Amino acid sequence: MNGAFEYAVAKRLFDRLVEALYNRHNLPNGYYVPKVLKMFINGLPSSKSEPQISRNFLRYLHEPDVLFVVCAFFVRDGLIEPLHDLVRLCPNDPAWPICLQRLREYAYSPGLSNLYNIPGILADLTIILEGGGVGSFRRIAPFPFSFGAEQIAQVDDSSVNSPKYTWRNAWRRVQRYITNDAAHEDMVLSNTGAV
């Protein structure tokens, strides 16, 4: 995990998402972005990362533009669990009030806003931040739209190594590694010299 966090900071990986958030045509595989972001957020507390690497990643993650874009992807897709996990990492960070204001001002699609009850998510986020990261999201839509692993498994893998689909590639590799193709993925990674 150390390598993933170091790479994200060194290459300023999430900076590219700022432009992509405002221009969906720049991100043909936008469904995978929140999944990759979620892996970073969930991996931080459970990782055995060196303290300095974790601090650098948290500092980068809480830069105002980066924090906003990560949260906007979660809010826009109704992904409250990783959003809540992100809040718990540093609930008192000074970037949160700025992020919350920008999330309120962001122009969400009316269809998504209604589907995921985005105003409710933002209201709950405000309460959780005011409580120092304590609380839960209560005002979510009853049946949020999402794809499960079975739908992801049906995606055509023919272009899985295409540079055009960076986020989708990352999600597919991690998903394969976690599920039943771990041995195959280890072999692929070792053949590329990445391990």
pLDDT above 80 (res 15): yes
Residues 166 and 102 reside in one and the same domain: no
Within a domain: 152? no
pLDDT the model gives residue 36: 87
Mean of the per-residue pLDDT values of the chain: 75
Residues 110 and 47 reside in one and the same domain: yes
Residue 100: CB atoms within 10 A of its CB come to 18
Within a domain: 129? yes
Owning domain of residue 169: 158-195
Within a domain: 191? yes
Helix-strand-coil percent breakdown of the chain, rounded to 5?
Answer: 70, 0, 30
Q: How many domains does the chain have?
A: 2
**For the segment 172-186, what is each residue's pLDDT rounded down to a tens digit?**
655 554 444 444 444
Annotate 11-23 with b (16+ C-beta within 10 A) or e (fewer): eebbebbeebbee
Higher per-residue confidence, 170 vs 158:
170
pLDDT the model gives residue 144: 40
Distance CA 40, CA 38 (A): 5
Q: Which two tokens stand for residue 3?
A: 């390598």
pLDDT above 50 (res 171): yes
pLDDT the model gives residue 157: 47
Residues 105 and 179 reside in one and the same domain: no
CA atoms within 13 A on the CB side of 99: 28
Highest mean pLDDT pick, 49-53, 133-137, 158-162: 49-53
Within a domain: 7? yes
- Confidence bin at 148 (pLDDT 50/70/90): very low
